[in-house]
Amino acid sequence: MPELAEGDLASSRLRIQRRTVGVLAAAQLLSGLGSGATLAIGSLLAVQFGGSDAWAGSVTTVLTLSAALAALPLSGVAARLGRRIALVAGLVTAMTGAGLVVLATVWSSLLVLLAGAALLGVGTAVNLQSRFAAVDLAHAAHRGRDLSLVVWSVTVGAVAGPNLIRPGAALGAALGLPDAAGPFVISVAGMAVAAVLLAIGLRPDPLLEARRVMRTDDVGLPHAPSAGASGAGSLRDGVRAIQASPSALLAVIGVVVAHAVMVSVMAMTPLHLSQMASAHAGSHGDHVSMDSFAIIGFTISLHIAGMYALSPLMGWISDRWGRRQLLAAGQAGLIAAVGVAGLGQGDPVMVAAGLVLLGLGWSASTIAGSALLAESVPGPGRVLAQGVSDTAMGFSGALGGATAGLVMAGFGYGGLAAGTAILSAGVLGIMAVIRRGPAVA
């Protein structure tokens, strides 16, 4: 009987885990529409409303900074009340941001655009936290797989987002709104459905369910309530939890640098392609057409596809070959990506190829680093450590977006690529130095 009861418990938790991953994946798919559209045309709207190329990186900077600031509070809410409430609250906030972006296009207001981007950034924090929600109940041998499935699910929404420029323009016209407003109207609807789906479908809450079991089992989580688990923690507690484990520290460094490299190059690519189109049009006496903006949207779509489309493969590699090996491969991939984009900066095809590789390098680093962090920090400090990681990740992206424009203005797109390559090379150097730390699969 005890064996039967234990088997029933494991079977029940497996069913809950499968449903949790399915609900999270569906919600990610819908909520990803907003981030894709913002990345594709946000910088162009900022330049248009601000009247200067100096504003090109402002939307990406605000978006990523907001995600960084929201990460730890969302983790605190999750620690106290569960993942479901935290994720739904974040999506409702992001919906409000998408609505403000619509108003910004109507009023041609840079201030309102940046306010909308700030609230949309909370949606980015929600997407990041969702990947950790996928491993609250995951078996140790399948953490990479379950995490990657949730990351992968954002592919459809995020890739579709930049390509909503044309159909969104038609929707905007039908609603009497500017062309650029249409994609964000679609975004509001997508996030609304995602929020309802999470509110209804994420029951029982995976984090609360993990704590409900009062013993440590093959999931690898100490489920007994503790100070960290109940939310009675702080940023300092999360940092200490990370510092206590060389593997956790390596994971955070890898994720943070990968995000900084990705955001820096991605944020400046639309402007770089727009400048190329303008120079070409000027030499032929033409005007920059909507087709040029569609090319930009398509390039960003390819980049986002690289970020998410092969996530299940990355998760499988992470589980099979090891987190550290995939993390190193991801950093090497980032170096190759910026090399292709930088050396081929005069060719839109080469730039697009570089952006795809950039997405793949980010995917490998993020999935490997996230899985490594989840299993390197003991249960009581895990949620806070995850919040610290996401906060640092967001701040690195904000710093990258803020400085990328300055670097590009001084050294060009190729100079920006070279600078980011140095960052990833530094991570590989750090991995070589601390490779004798405790190995975690």
Please check whether residue 356 is in contact with residue 306, taking contact to mean a CB–CB distance below 8 angstroms: yes
Per-residue model confidence (pLDDT) at position 377: 86
Q: Which ranges of 82-225 would DSSP assign to H, the alpha helix?
A: 83-107, 110-133, 143-160, 165-174, 182-201, 206-212
pLDDT at 420 over 70: yes
Per-residue model confidence (pLDDT) at position 281: 56
Neighbours of 436 (CB within 10 A): 8
130 compared with 231, residue with greater pLDDT = 130
Neighbours of 299 (CB within 10 A): 25
Give, rounded to a whole angstrom, the gap between the first and last alpha carbons of the chain: 34
pLDDT at 2 over 50: no
Q: What is the mean pLDDT of the chain?
A: 82
Residue 299 pLDDT class (50, 70, 90 cuts): confident
pLDDT digits (tens, 9 = 90+) for 32-65: 765 666 666 777 788 888 887 778 778 877 887 8
pLDDT at 240 over 70: yes
Tokens standing for 335?
Answer: 């170096």
371 compared with 11, residue with greater pLDDT = 371
Go through the domains of the chain in sequence order and give each one's CATH number.
2-204+228-433 (1.20.1250.20)
* Burial environment of residue 288 by CB neighbours within 10 A (0 to 12, 13 to 18, 19 or more): middle
pLDDT at 133 over 70: yes
Per-residue model confidence (pLDDT) at position 231: 42
Q: Comparing 53-62, 246-255, 403-412, which segment has the lowest mean pLDDT?
A: 53-62
Q: Comparing 21-25, 373-377, 431-435, which segment has the lowest mean pLDDT?
A: 431-435
CA quadruple 197, 203, 209, 212: dihedral positive or negative? positive
Per-residue model confidence (pLDDT) at position 233: 52
Give the pLDDT mean for 192-221: 77
What is the C-alpha to C-alpha distance for residues 48 and 52, in angstroms, rounded to an integer? 7
Residue 294 pLDDT class (50, 70, 90 cuts): low
Per-residue model confidence (pLDDT) at position 213: 62
- What is the number of alpha carbons within 13 Å of residue 291 lying toward its C-beta? 5
Residue 359 pLDDT class (50, 70, 90 cuts): very high
Residue 108 Ramachandran class (φ > 0 left, ψ -120 to 50 alpha, else beta): left
Residue 214 pLDDT class (50, 70, 90 cuts): very low
pLDDT at 186 over 50: yes
Per-residue model confidence (pLDDT) at position 421: 94
Per-residue model confidence (pLDDT) at position 99: 93
Please check whether residue 140 is in contact with residue 158, taking contact to mean a CB–CB distance below 8 angstroms: no
Per-residue model confidence (pLDDT) at position 110: 93
Residue 172 pLDDT class (50, 70, 90 cuts): confident
pLDDT at 292 over 70: no
Please check whether residue 381 is in contact with residue 226, taking contact to mean a CB–CB distance below 8 angstroms: no
Q: At 245, is the secondary structure helix, strand, or coil?
A: coil
Give the pLDDT mean for 212-237: 50
Per-residue model confidence (pLDDT) at position 19: 92
Q: Comparing 99-103, 114-118, 376-380, which segment has the lowest mean pLDDT?
A: 376-380
Q: Give phi and psi for 278, each to the nearest 5.
A: -65, -40
Per-residue model confidence (pLDDT) at position 248: 93
301 compared with 161, residue with greater pLDDT = 301
Give the pLDDT mean for 417-426: 94
Please check whether residue 271 is in contact with residue 47, taking contact to mean a CB–CB distance below 8 angstroms: yes
